[in-house]
Amino acid sequence: MRRIAFIGLGANLGRAQATLEQACAALHQASGCEVTAVSSWWRSVPVDADGPDYVNGVAQLETSLEPERLLDTLQVLERYFGRQRIYRNAPRTLDLDLLLYDAELPPGLCLNTPRLQLPHPRLMERAFVLHPLLELLPTLSWPGVTDVAALCMSLAVQQGIERLGGPQP
Ligand SMILES: Nc1ncnc2c1ncn2[C@@H]1O[C@H](COP(=O)(O)OP(=O)(O)OP(=O)(O)O)[C@@H](O)[C@H]1O
Ligand SMILES: Nc1nc2c(c(=O)[nH]1)N=C(CO)CN2
């Protein structure tokens, strides 16, 4: 059974945008994963973190992997692209977060295990996630949020975010 999942991508070390584009290509090659859409890339200052500016975006997947197996794939790719876990929210070459799973009807699958929380618990607090996610899912509605687009605009004003352009074909 194939499910729709949304992956948040971020990087603030190395050639960040190129890494995110390569990570999307690698995800498309991964077993049980097909990348069906990629948002624009967005630059923002680190939120609750330090280091250089981030580049962020969101990819839509069709996947036959169960959520924890998909997380395994994301973590293998993070390591392949040189991610080191030095301290919480440390600068990184690649961060891949599973935002939504089985997401035809958001918020999709709800899960709370020691390894995996779904939907991603900080999704609605971050302009760098919400902005690209709304590009792919413009009708996104959310329990307890009356106007997701207005929330996104207000987060963008508070946190600052700049569109860099679409991914390479
Ligand atoms: N939805 C999720 N997507 C990715 N990792 C998750 C998720 N829910 C829980 N985790 C767990 O979070 C742990 C820490 O992940 P990571 O170091 O990438 O956090 P982060 O991306 O730096 O911070 P944040 O979660 O605030 O974005 C992972 O080892 C993973 O087990
Ligand atoms: N702008 C921005 N800030 C962050 C980011 C990120 O991807 N972009 N990721 C974080 C932890 O995952 C913490 N802060």
Q: What is the residue-wise DSSP string for 62-76?
A: EE-S-HHHHHHHHHH
For residue 97, report the distance from its CA to the centre of ligand 1, in Å. Answer: 6
Measured between alpha carbons, how far is 96 from 145 in angstroms, rounded to an integer?
Answer: 25
Q: pLDDT tens string for the chain (169 positions)?
A: 899 999 999 999 999 999 999 999 999 999 999 999 999 999 999 999 999 999 999 999 999 999 999 999 999 999 999 999 889 999 999 999 999 999 888 899 999 999 999 999 999 999 999 999 999 999 999 999 999 999 999 999 999 999 997 654 4
Domain count, the chain: 1
Which structural domain range is residue 77 located in? 3-165
Amino acid at 143: P
Measured between alpha carbons, how far is 80 from 57 in angstroms, rounded to an integer?
Answer: 19
48 is catalytic: no
Sign of the C-alpha dihedral computed for residues 117, 79, 81 and 22 taken in this order: negative
Ligand 1 atom nearest to CA at 48: 26
92 is catalytic: yes
ipTM of the complex: 0.97
Supply the residue whose CA is at minimum distance from atom 20 of ligand 1: 89
85 is catalytic: no
Indicate which CATH number applies to the domain containing 48: 3.30.70.560
Within 13 A of 86's CA, how many CA atoms are on the CB side?
A: 10
107 prior amide bond cis, ω within 30: yes
φ, ψ of residue 34 to 5 degrees: the values are -135, 120
Amino acid at 117: Q
